[in-house]
Amino acid sequence: MQAMTTIGRNDLQQLLASCPSLLLLDVLPQNSYKEYHIRGAINAPFDHRFDSEVSALCPDKSQTIVIYGMNFECPIATQALQRLGELGYENLFHYEPGKVDWKAALLPVEQGPAVRNSLEIEQADKEQRFLFLLSLTQAPLFDLLQL
């Protein structure tokens, strides 16, 4: 198993600035991620789908990955890092202070779910158009004429 490196806020800022291919993973449950997360982070909750999600997100085992959880006392990030090491990932970093520290320092956070790629954007757009068309078909014809 590959050893992980624990980093602080300044280290994370430097990695974000110097490593464009860095994968920043929020391993907390989706509701926590939606509440707020570090800008650019992808949610990969540490649950029964973790292995397959990470494999899909990062097939390159040498890619730089930073994992974070809630704070210093959050065991989820440590468990996720251990699992990534078992899966053969090599460049692992643990932002141990977590998202609480990041937000307390007034650094950029986002809210809500993040769309991961253009395929998901396209799918979401299709679903939204379908729902709009469906709502039009449910409206009385008279109401449609007034649109």
Q: What is the pLDDT of residues 30-70, one digit of tens each?
A: 999 999 999 999 999 999 999 999 999 999 999 999 999 99
User: What span, in angstroms and rounded, lies between the C-alpha atoms of 1 and 60?
Assistant: 16
What pLDDT sits at residue 115?
Answer: 53
Domains of the chain: 3-134 (3.40.250.10)
- When pLDDT is cut at 50, 70 and 90, the band that residue 132 belongs to is very low
Instruction: Report the mean per-residue pLDDT for the chain.
Output: 83
- When pLDDT is cut at 50, 70 and 90, the band that residue 136 belongs to is very low
More confident residue, 106 or 126: 106
Averaged over 6-26, what is the pLDDT? 95
- When pLDDT is cut at 50, 70 and 90, the band that residue 2 belongs to is low
User: What span, in angstroms and rounded, lies between the C-alpha atoms of 90 and 97?
Assistant: 21
The 3-state DSSP class for residue 107 equals coil
CB 28 within 8 A of CB 79: no
What pLDDT sits at residue 63?
Answer: 94
CA 86, 92, 79: angle at the middle one, nearest 5? 50
What pLDDT sits at residue 80?
Answer: 96
Q: Is the confidence at residue 96, as pLDDT, over 50?
A: yes
CB 24 within 8 A of CB 98: no
CB 13 within 8 A of CB 93: no
